[in-house]
Amino acid sequence: MAQQAYVTETDDGGPGAGRRGDRLRRLWARLTSGWRGDRRIWRRGLVTAAVALLLAAVTAGHARIPNVVGNLGSLVETFLPWFGLLIPVLLVIAVVRRSATALIAVLVPAVVWLHLFGGLLFTKSGGGGDLTVATHNVNADNADPAGTARAVAASGADVVALEELKASAVSTYEKALAPAYRHHAVVGTVGLWSKYPLSGVRAVDLELGWQRAMRATVATPEGQVAFYVAHLPSVRVKLEAGFTARQRDRSADALGEAIRDERVAKVILLGDLNGTMNDRALNAVTAQMRSTQGAAGDGFGFSWPASFPMARIDQILVRGVEPESSWTLPATGSDHLPVAARVRVDTSAS
């Protein structure tokens, strides 16, 4: 008997999409074969369903996880986007177990995660802006400071902030960056390089006993902008103490207070905050500033560690200026990736 040839119709008129749709339907039919009439599909997979609902509760209610013991809340918030990897695992388990209850339950954390992070899956970068800025924790043990400086300068940034400057390497950075940046200031272990004049340079007290933050006014062609450069203390994850971040948290409060008292209307914060925008410990800063990555970034923009970035702890935050785009730069000799952003200082045209 001659076989009848046919083409599956699709909305766009192309047969390829129709065949792909048929294959997906057949795959789903095989996976769910035997489900119909099986009343156990509602009784199986209860543990998987419970885990899915717990995941949804933790993701949605992360702000309610207390920091009393080991700063657990901050630890969860630091790596919160990665919780989404558990969703496809639970989905596969639900299908293999043939559990309708688990399948429905898995939808809950999926919706919650997409609500929180779905926007970061797509680029929000624009093409506008009148000022490019960059920040980089260069690592005190960097074996190639000159190469690192040249790599950051190659980004075309108008203003560059560097953190974790080793005293013996400052002159190397100054020499390497001098051709591109006529103006610069170094305070303690942080520095600011600019194509435009600097004024009002001073240290910012992070209540550490040594200088890891500074403030300067940059006279951009579109007006004055107050720049803050900060390197908040590192955090550690220890079995006996959990997420140790007390110094970081106190410094974040001090930095937030300094920015709150800033009289210049347009403010940009560049630096290694050793925390993500989800970490409630940084609220003193993040509550009054916008993240360029969240507003105009390209993906999650993870910056640390450089070998396998897992968290965005290097930040560019703004107040009074408009973010247009944000991105990470190629790896250097540091254990952090540099990050850059394009912003619009002249907001009168918006």
The string of pLDDT tens digits covering residues 254-285 is: 999 999 999 999 999 999 999 999 999 999 99
* pLDDT value at residue 2: 45
Q: How many CB atoms lie within 10 A of CB 56?
A: 21
Distance (Å) of CA 225 to CA 28, 162, 255, 313: 57, 18, 17, 23
Three-class secondary structure of residue 150 per DSSP:
helix
* pLDDT value at residue 241: 42
The domain locations on the chain are: 32-121, 131-349
Q: Which residues pair with 237 in a beta bridge?
A: 243
* pLDDT value at residue 150: 96
For the whole model, what pTM was predicted?
0.84
* DSSP class per residue in 190-240: EEEEESS-EEEEEE---SSSS--EEEEEEEETTEEEEEEEEEPPP-EEETT
Round to whole Å and give the CA distance between 52 and 73.
19
Domain 131-349 - what CATH class?
alpha beta
* pLDDT value at residue 32: 61
Three-class secondary structure of residue 185 per DSSP:
strand
Round to whole Å and give the CA distance between 193 and 224.
15
The string of pLDDT tens digits covering residues 15-28 is: 556 677 787 676 65
* pLDDT value at residue 43: 85
Q: Could you say which residues of the chain have pLDDT below 70?
A: 1-18, 24, 26-39, 236-244, 349-350
